[in-house]
Structure 1
């Protein structure tokens, strides 16, 4: 696991966008994993600037979403497919039909989960998966207690996660769905490169457990310690609980340029 600590959220976005840009330059038909939430938005804005400037094209890429609410109507603005359309697809040159998500409106949710797993496999797997982390350590919608071997499935959202997400529903927690479809931790760990971004002091405790704690279902993000290629990009407040922050800063400063991300 490589931990990169920078000063600002804008720098976090640039570092993560660098990883995507390098991947697409080497493999124009790359398969990306995209995430919703506040943390990835700066990355999508940075990718948009690069596409507009002509230095990047995602026209040949494909993308898979991490999760989706269950039961929201197709036109609901907070349905994650619509959020990704606004935050990512509309800002770059990827084709809308090249972006897939689990079908939270299906009458057969178990079948929709199995079909999503198969679609990822048929695409050859995900090359680079973007991730954020919840204040309770969840990744995607894998809440504390989730199996570290889990696959795409239906999950019940905790009160804490619904409270965190109520800001997207005008502060009304009762409007936040209680269920979702989410890639499992095992599904996420199948991606070839994981890039997790976090900003703000409110993420510091979760980041401490992710990076320095024991691998535990109580802090689902800690499962990333088991992956051979993880990049964690943080601003200083998000890194404020790390005991090894000085070490991470030194090693990144001394990193050979040829190593890349």
Structure 2
């Protein structure tokens, strides 16, 4: 795992966009995350598309998750959210943007179908991730199997609370989602996790320096052969080995990519 510490959220987003742009230019299959943390990264990628010619026309994209019970065109569905915040502003074809079926009546079959679709695409080349305050990635809440497939999950009360700001009322937040499992996520060739703000400091320390455990689902990144974690100073404040991470970053061989 490579841990990169940057001064502020803007620098985190700029570096993340630089890494993602390198894949997009090659027509990669991208794994996209929603939530507040990736927004600045998406804005930078949109800027690169409009002003520096970055094309996504040969890319495919797979979302991490979708609320159960919300149609695709619901304002807070993750499919609609990623369209509004990112993909409708670039040149990726709408048919190349995939999400789990939140209206399915057979969640097991829908999960299997989604994992199969990812495999048939050739697999995800780079998966963008955020991390929740309780260490969840996607909607793999504490207690999730580290080898889990895409499946139905019940949201943790803290996650419902965190996401209530996107809905008119807390009671409107769905309690269930279809989410890529930790096993599905781990099959991506490159995992890119972003975290900003002091509210994520405890989760960052747990995922990077704590034990690999279902108590902190994001700790599964420790087992991945190519995982990059980019954090700002506030999110890095609980890291015990932060000085080494800075040293390793500053002394990276010129030929080594993130």
The normalised TM-score by structure 2 is: 0.98
Map Cα deviations across residues 65-114 of structure 1 (whole Å, 9 max, x no partner). Answer: 00000001333210000001011112211111110000011122221111
Gaps of 5+ in 1: none
Residue aligning to 2:47 = 49
> Which stretch of the first structure deviates more once superposed, 172-181 or 124-133?
172-181
Residues 1:234 and 2:231 are matched in the alignment: yes
Residues 1:14 and 2:14 are matched in the alignment: yes
Gaps of 5+ in 2: none
SS of 1:240's partner is coil
> Structure 1 residue aligned with 2:33, among 32, 35, 44?
35
For 1:228 and 1:73, the matched residues in 2 are separated by 36
Residue aligning to 1:193 = 190
> Structure 1 residue aligned with 2:170, among 158, 173, 178?
173
CA contact under 8 A between 1:45 and 1:91: conserved in structure 2? Answer: no
Q: CA RMSD in A?
A: 0.9
The normalised TM-score by structure 1 is: 0.97
The Cα shift of 1:257 comes to 2.2
SS of 2:255's partner is helix
SS of 2:124's partner is coil
Map Cα deviations across residues 186-227 of structure 1 (whole Å, 9 max, x no partner). Answer: 000000000000100000000000000000000000011000
The Cα shift of 1:174 comes to 1.1
Residue aligning to 2:162 = 164
Count of equivalent residues: 258
The Cα shift of 1:54 comes to 2.9
Alignment of 1:179-258 (within 5 A): 179-258=176-255
For 1:24 and 1:135, the matched residues in 2 are separated by 29
> Structure 2 residue aligned with 1:78, among 61, 76, 79?
76
Residue aligning to 1:122 = 120
Residues 1:61 and 2:40 are matched in the alignment: no
Q: Which runs of 4+ in 1 moved over 3 A?
A: none
SS of 1:259's partner is coil
For 2:182 and 2:109, the matched residues in 1 are separated by 19
